[in-house]
Amino acid sequence: MVDKFLNCRYAKPNAKYALICFPWAGGGSNFYAQWGRQCPDSVEVCGITLPGRESRFRDPCTTDADQILQDTCSAIYKKYCNTDIIFWGHSMGALYSFETALLLKKLHHKEPVRMFCSGISAPHAPERKHVGQTVNDMSEEEFVEYLKKLGGTPEQVLSDPEMMTLFLPPLKADYVMMEGFKSPIGVDPPLSCPLHLFDGQDDAKHNLKAWEDVTSGKTTVQLLPGGHFYPKEPSNQSFLISYITERLN
């Protein structure tokens, strides 16, 4: 299962840190796996590969949030039980990384030494309260309209029937899975690690301040040029990789 879930393109056997990167909705792991080339030998990078995409294309997409979280924690702990871990997640990946961090702490008493979350309101923020029809109950046509209203999905994907045939199943599965992310935030923050928050300057405004409730550690906010998919810009990628690795020294 480790090999299925964790895409590590540049193995670094003596690395002190493992940077685990969680995909955005419908996304894969290859985008992040190549970050390993730019990271120092002290940082090994792994992208999370969910079923139904890339090397797991033949695996059926799943909407079972509990099972995905269990499998993710198992894969991470099996490979990195003796390594300091760092989590990065953009959009859905930020929520996914947070839920994974909570479960990893619960099951194995292991917490990321730092978390980097991007492009989405905090999981408990009022902006994330879902009203009306759930994604699971939507037809394909209704789901496409929902994506258009929501924003964040490239227009070239939404307007191309062939691309939608390829991307719609994992994309919808991920949105349904997100509806299953329901860990409550109590009075006391569930995490203690430093939390670094990012957003695109031209993206829809997200409630980043609410993320402060999830950790007793220090939080910082950084805005970068671009819209929702600002991490795809080469200059932003280079900045993010440098920013993350510099804070591990």
How far apart are the C-alpha atoms of 63 and 76, rounded to whole Å?
A: 20
Average pLDDT over every residue of 199-211: 94
DSSP 137: G
Average pLDDT over every residue of 14-37: 95
User: What integer pLDDT is reported at residue 13 of this predicted model?
Assistant: 92
Q: What is the mean pLDDT of the chain?
A: 91
**Per DSSP, which regions of the chain are E strands?**
6-7, 17-22, 43-48, 84-90, 114-118, 195-200, 219-224
- Exactly one of 29, 90, 91, 118 is catalytic; name it: 91
Catalytic residue status for 228:
yes
How far apart are the C-alpha atoms of 105 and 125, rounded to whole Å?
A: 22
Q: Domain residues for 122?
A: 2-246
Environment class of residue 12 by beta-carbon count within 10 Å: exposed (0-12), middle (13-18) or buried (19+)?
A: middle
User: What integer pLDDT is reported at residue 166 of this predicted model?
Assistant: 79
User: What integer pLDDT is reported at residue 152 of this predicted model?
Assistant: 64
User: What integer pLDDT is reported at residue 50 of this predicted model?
Assistant: 95
- Exactly one of 90, 196, 206, 228 is catalytic; name it: 228
**Stronger pLDDT, 164 or 81, i.e. the higher one:** 81
User: What integer pLDDT is reported at residue 131 of this predicted model?
Assistant: 62
Q: Is the pLDDT of residue 1 over 60?
A: no
Confidence of residue 182 (pLDDT cuts 50, 70, 90): confident
Q: Report the predicted TM-score, pTM, of the whole model to 2 decimal places.
A: 0.93
Alpha-carbon distance values, 12 to 38, 150, 220 (Å): 12, 39, 29
How many structural domains compose the chain?
Answer: 1
Asked if residues 118 and 231 have their Cβ atoms less than 8 Å apart, the reply is yes
Taking only the tens place, the pLDDT of each residue in 100-157 is 999 999 999 999 999 999 999 999 998 887 666 788 888 888 888 888 777 667 777 7
- CATH number at 131 reads 3.40.50.1820
Catalytic residue status for 108:
no
